Amino acid sequence: MSSGEILVSEADGNGGIMAQPKNLEGYVGFANLPNQVYRKSVKRGFEFTLMVVGESGLGKSTLINSLFLTDLYSPEYPGPSHRIKKTVQVEQSKVLVKEGGVHLLLTIVDTPGFGDAVDNSNCWQPVIDYIDSKFEDYLNAESRVNRRQMPDSRVQCCLYFIAPSGHGLKPLDIEFMKRLHEKVNIIPLIAKADTMTPEECQQFKNQIMKEIQEHKIKIYEFPETEDEEEMKLVRRIKDRLPLAVVGSNTIIEVNGKRVRGRQYPWGVAEVENGEHCDFTILRNMLIRTHMQDLKDVTNNVHYENYRSRKLAAVTYNGMDNNKNKGQLTKSPLAQMEEERRDHVSKMKKMEQEMEQVFEMKVKEKLMKLRDSEAELQRRHEQMKKNLEAQHRELEERRRQHDEEKAGWEAQQRILEQQKLDASRTLEKNKKKKIF
């Protein structure tokens, strides 16, 4: 670690980055971050789930034992081949192994019965179901409100054993890989490679790779690195795919060395000899260099695929899928929030409209009412005027009549007076006559 060179790049306002290497005497210390990560990861420990799939008798258990240099499958814990199954089972064995201070919880998932029946249709289904159920477990654990340390039992690698027929992939192989390549990292292996000569083996490999490409099967791809050394290594591995392996539980002495191998009358096929088989490459790749990457690809690619498919199905139940493609970038909760907001504004609009209609109708009615009130009022006024006119007329007549009457009565009184005077005179005269 050099003592002084600290590179500082500042983000300028336009989103670009300007690198200004400054040569300061001084040390900050975050170069120690990797060590902190190291320390924490050792303290936490590691876990890995490996699945082996293949017909019985292809040497799967032996290979596992050879890979991990242990008796995972032993007389007390028999491997899949020793257990006769009628249908495909999926079983797991968990072991804890320690090496150099690093703890690894290894889960080996077996599929006894795979490909052993006469009719093997859908024999991959239990495998798919198992992988999906592990994804589902993880998804549920991740989605809980109270999350604890989430145990990761997702299948991170699937070793697929191809029988060494020397010809090509069987239909079952192709079917299986096509159905699982988007759920798990598939590493195809040629089992019992010691039954083929190197030329036969190479031919077989070429044939297999050709068929894999033809059927667009996506086997596990090694990540690109910037490191030249690593790239060379990766290219070497890629050239030898699929890896042809031999497994053995027995140790034989060859040239004074104790090696794992298979003893034949014509010689010993050494497991760890690179010229005999690709076992070492497999072990190095699987355990020593790419174990972490296998886990990362499972987490970032396969699991995310599963998750987004699962959640999209849930939230857009029965709705038009085309409409929703653009909405997949939102979380379902944000989706609901948005829908709620939309609904609120829709309701507001509806409310406004209804309010308007209501007001209008009320206004109409009120106007009508006012009109009829005015009309009635007017008529009433008119009638009143009419009555008043009649009243006045009557008054006038009465007055006239009164006048007339008064006049006539006055006249009568005068007449009466005259009569009275006349009669009095007559009386006087009468009285005078009598005497």
Partner 1 sequence: MQLPLLTESSRCFVLQLAATTMASTEIARQAGEGARAVPLAGHVGFDSMPDQLVNKSVNHGFCFNILCVGETGLGKSTLMDTLFNTKFEGEPTQHNQPGVTLKSNTYELQESNVRLKLTVVNTVGFGDQINKEDSYKSIVEFIDAQFEAYLQEELKIKRTLHSYHDTRIHACLYFIAPTGHSLKSLDLVTMKKLDSKVNIIPIVAKSDAISKSELAKFKIKITSELVSNGVQIYQFPTDDESVAEINSTMNSHLPFAVVGSTEEVKIGNKMVKARQYPWGTVQVENENHCDFVKLREMLIRVNMEDLREQTHTRHYELYRRCKLEEMGFKDTDPDSKPFSLQETYEAKRNEFMGELQKKEEEMRQMFVQRVKEKEAELKEAEKELHEKFDRLKKLHQDEKKKLEDKKKSLDDELNMFKQKKTAAELLYNQAQQAGGSTTLKRDKERKN
Of 14, 17, 432, 435, the residue at the interface with partner 1 (CB under 8 A) is: 17
Of 83, 397, 413, 428, the residue at the interface with partner 1 (CB under 8 A) is: 397
CB of residue 403 to partner 1, shortest distance in Å: 12
Residues 150-179 that bind partner 1 (CB under 8 A): 151
Give the side-chain half-sphere CA count within 13 A for 62.
Answer: 20
Q: What is the DSSP letter of 284?
A: I
CB atoms under 10 Å from CB of 178, counted, come to: 15
CB proximity list for 290: less than 8 A, separation 6 or greater: 222
Residues 296-315 that bind partner 1 (CB under 8 A): 296, 300, 304, 307-308, 310-312, 314-315
69 versus 117: smaller Cβ distance to partner 1 = 69
Of 16, 28, 239, 265, the residue at the interface with partner 1 (CB under 8 A) is: 28
Residues 184-243 that bind partner 1 (CB under 8 A): 225
Residues 95-154 that bind partner 1 (CB under 8 A): 95-105, 136, 139-140, 143-147, 149, 151
Helix, strand counts (H, E) of the chain: 11, 11
167 versus 401: smaller Cβ distance to partner 1 = 401
Of 165, 202, 250, 412, the residue at the interface with partner 1 (CB under 8 A) is: 412
Is the alpha carbon torsion for 23, 24, 25, 27 positive or negative? negative
Which residue carries 């009466």 as its tokens? 416
Residues 242-271 that bind partner 1 (CB under 8 A): none
CB of residue 230 to partner 1, shortest distance in Å: 9
Length of the chain measured in residues: 435
25 versus 199: smaller Cβ distance to partner 1 = 25
Residues 36-55 that bind partner 1 (CB under 8 A): 36-48
Which residue from 289, 298, 294 is spatially nearest to 233, judged by alpha carbons? 289
- Segment interacting with partner 1, rule: CB under 8 A, options 15-23, 157-165, 176-184, 210-218: 15-23
Residues 347-376 that bind partner 1 (CB under 8 A): 347, 350-351, 354, 358, 361-362, 365-366, 369, 372-373, 376
- Segment interacting with partner 1, rule: CB under 8 A, options 14-22, 160-168, 183-191, 261-269: 14-22
CB of residue 273 to partner 1, shortest distance in Å: 15
Interatomic CA distance for residues 166 and 190, integer angstroms: 10
Q: Is 238:200 a contact under the CB 8 Å cutoff?
A: no
CB proximity list for 91: less than 8 A, separation 6 or greater: 80, 109, 110, 111, 112
Tell me phi and psi for residue 185, to 5 degrees.
-75, 115
Q: What is the DSSP letter of 224?
A: P
214 versus 351: smaller Cβ distance to partner 1 = 351
CB of residue 98 to partner 1, shortest distance in Å: 7
| Cα→Cα distances 232→184, 226, 235, 237, Å | 26, 11, 5, 9
Of 232, 343, 385, 413, the residue at the interface with partner 1 (CB under 8 A) is: 343
Question: Exposure string (b/e) for 7-43, b if CB count within 10 Å is 16 or more?
Answer: eeeeeeeeeeeeeeeeeeeeeeeeeeeeeeeeeeeee
72 versus 172: smaller Cβ distance to partner 1 = 72
34 versus 265: smaller Cβ distance to partner 1 = 34
